[in-house]
Amino acid sequence: MESGLRSDTIYCYDLNLRASFNPVCIDGEVAKFYLWHIESVARMVAESDAFKPNCNLVMIDFLLRHGLITPDHHQFKELSSGLQSFQIIATTLKRIRFFVE
């Protein structure tokens, strides 16, 4: 796995889907989809390295925005300010790239 900063943009969308919705893998990037309770996802993010770092960022962002990580969480400040730092770094890198190219 590569280490260091990457200048990627991750577009995140919250989609409300019926419980009966069954996604289909067609592009070869995903082997399988799982339907998990959000509490299970949060536990996996907090307690394991099961997901890639960029996926963890997306899930932490979701948990923060939906109030599932609350201000009384022992890492709330670090998580919320850390995501803001990533957004600031990404914006800065894009501006620098514009001036260099």
Summary mean pLDDT of the chain: 77
pTM: 0.68
Shortest CA distance to 12 belongs to which of 84, 61, 79, 46?
A: 61
Distance, C-alpha 43 to centroid of its chain: 14
Residue 56 has what pLDDT?
Answer: 84
CATH class of 8-101: alpha beta
pLDDT digits (tens, 9 = 90+) for 13-50: 888 889 899 998 888 888 888 889 999 999 998 888 88
Distance separating alpha carbons of residues 21 and 31, to the nearest angstrom = 17
AA identity, residue 29: E
Where is pLDDT greater, at 72 or 96? 72
Residue 40 has what pLDDT?
Answer: 94
Contact 100, 7 (CB under 8 A): no
Q: Please give the full DSSP string across the chain, using - where no structure is assigned.
A: ---S--------------TT------SSS-S------HHHHHHHHHH---S-HHHHHHHHHHHHHTTSS-TTSTTHHHHHHHHHHHHHHHHHHHHHHHHH-
Q: Residue 6 — very low, low, confident or very high, per pLDDT cuts 50/70/90?
A: low
**Domain locations in the chain as residue ranges:** 8-101
